Amino acid sequence: MPPTAEPDTTELTRHLPWKEVVADQPWVFRDAAVGAGVVVASGLYLWWAATSLPLRLPDGWEGLGSGIEIVAGIVAVVAVLAVVLGGFLLTQPLTERRLLRVRRFAADNGLEYRANGAPPPPVGVVFGTGLHIAVANQLRSPDGRRIRGRTGPAMVGVTIGDATLSERSASGGAGKTRGSVGFVHVSLPTRSPHLLLDGVANNGGARRGIARTVEHEQLVSLEGDFDRHFALYVPRDFQVEALQVFTPDVMALLIDHGRRWDIEIVDDNLFVTTSGSFRLWDASEMLRLFRFIDLVVPKLGGRIARMSPVTPRPSRFDAGTTRGARLRPSRNWVLVPVLVVAGLVVGAEILVAVLD
């Protein structure tokens, strides 16, 4: 079988005239002009407020000074917010130009673009913690992507997008934002125990990023310089199976094509994540992602298919299911001495009050 063709990135690299952007979004420069006017007007007011306050009023008018300054201060706060909104409108032409590139790239490669997409499966250390997930700028392969499987051609589902993770409000919607990630989700044909690769380059060092939520005792060291690029975490009693998956050829592919990101395999899901977002309009970024999908995923899938059956084991990284073996979440032992000290202090205060 010939190798899977790389995606066509013509629309991400060619010159895109502004007239095509206007034809796609006629309002974009009108809103940018409004934004520029808001920024200029608000900026002039803030300059006046900074140079003219406190006010010097004529004799007999001094009592009005404090009231006028309070009103001027409130208007200044509104002006600052207006500058932020105006700046957002002012950058819309660039944003819409990038999104037009992404939509055309999707059309050229049989992908479906959604401004607001469906969340990924709620499993794993990123998406399986019960947080509210909102997905934007999603690329999805509606018919799957053809890769080189272990026994021949195989089709896998592929989704790329940006996810905002938030606490759930009382109504079940989004509350306080906890962070955002760019993600790739690939549906694997075979289930796997929970395997987590914490990319050192993605977080400045192991235990500072995605792996901080799992027990450190599940860390497995592999041969060569693999540990310089990834920290591998495996459920207890599955270290032997992990060595069957991460063979020297797989480790070399991961270093060459995946060391910039975190990689997680749980059940029949493979996630590639990075803090912030993926640059979907960047041809080099898209080529790197699809090379990972086309070259690394088939190797990993083939090794996983040769593993022994996975024993079910529940975990809170699970969203209520008990399908495959899971990594154990870390325990926050730092809180134990804090709670003990707090208990002693409260107990001492109660004892003193009783004695008094």
Cα–Cα distance for residue pair 186/119, rounded to 1 Å: 13
The candidate with the shortest Cα–Cα distance to 268, out of 234, 240, 310, 215, is: 310
Mean of the per-residue pLDDT values of the chain? 79
- Is the CB of residue 46 less than 8 Å from the CB of residue 39? no
- Is the CB of residue 162 less than 8 Å from the CB of residue 137? yes
Cα–Cα distance for residue pair 290/269, rounded to 1 Å: 17
The pLDDT, as a whole number, for residue 309 is 54
**pLDDT band, very low/low/confident/very high, at 193 (cuts 50, 70, 90):** confident
Contacts of 265 (CB under 8 A, 6+ apart): 188, 192, 194, 195, 196, 271, 300, 304
Length of the chain: 356
Cα–Cα distance for residue pair 158/290, rounded to 1 Å: 10
What radius of gyration, in Å, describes the C-alpha atoms of the chain?
27
- Is the CB of residue 148 less than 8 Å from the CB of residue 264? no
Which structure tokens are listed for 71? 């009103």
The pLDDT, as a whole number, for residue 235 is 87
Quick one: average pLDDT of 119-123?
Answer: 91
- Is the CB of residue 317 less than 8 Å from the CB of residue 128? yes
Q: Which helix (H) or strand (E) holds 297?
A: helix 297-305
**pLDDT of 206 over the 50 cut:** no
Q: Which helix (H) or strand (E) holds 175?
A: strand 174-199
Quick one: average pLDDT of 161-186?
Answer: 85
What are the distances in angstroms from CA 79 to CA 2, 75, 84, 89, 264? 60, 6, 9, 15, 45
Cα–Cα distance for residue pair 194/208, rounded to 1 Å: 20
- Is the CB of residue 126 less than 8 Å from the CB of residue 210? yes
- One-letter amino acid at 14 equals R
Cα–Cα distance for residue pair 41/79, rounded to 1 Å: 9
**pLDDT band, very low/low/confident/very high, at 172 (cuts 50, 70, 90):** low
The pLDDT, as a whole number, for residue 335 is 39
pLDDT in tens, 306-356: 775 554 444 444 444 434 577 877 754 343 344 344 444 444 454 444 444
**pLDDT of 232 over the 50 cut:** yes
Quick one: average pLDDT of 248-256?
Answer: 92
- Global pTM reads 0.77
Query: Across the chain, how many H-helices and E-strands are there?
Result: 12, 9
- Is the CB of residue 270 less than 8 Å from the CB of residue 263? yes
Q: Which helix (H) or strand (E) holds 164?
A: strand 158-168
The pLDDT, as a whole number, for residue 87 is 87
**pLDDT of 192 over the 90 cut:** no
The pLDDT, as a whole number, for residue 57 is 52
pLDDT in tens, 72-105: 777 778 888 988 898 888 888 999 999 999 999 9
pLDDT in tens, 21-62: 999 989 888 888 988 898 898 888 888 777 765 555 555 545
Quick one: average pLDDT of 118-140?
Answer: 90
The candidate with the shortest Cα–Cα distance to 145, out of 157, 160, 128, is: 157
**pLDDT band, very low/low/confident/very high, at 190 (cuts 50, 70, 90):** confident
**pLDDT band, very low/low/confident/very high, at 189 (cuts 50, 70, 90):** confident
- One-letter amino acid at 185 equals H
The pLDDT, as a whole number, for residue 58 is 53
Distance of CA 152 to the CA centre of its chain: 33
Which structure tokens are listed for 17? 């005239």
Strand ranges (E), 235-356: 262-275
**pLDDT of 17 over the 90 cut:** yes
DSSP symbol at 296: I
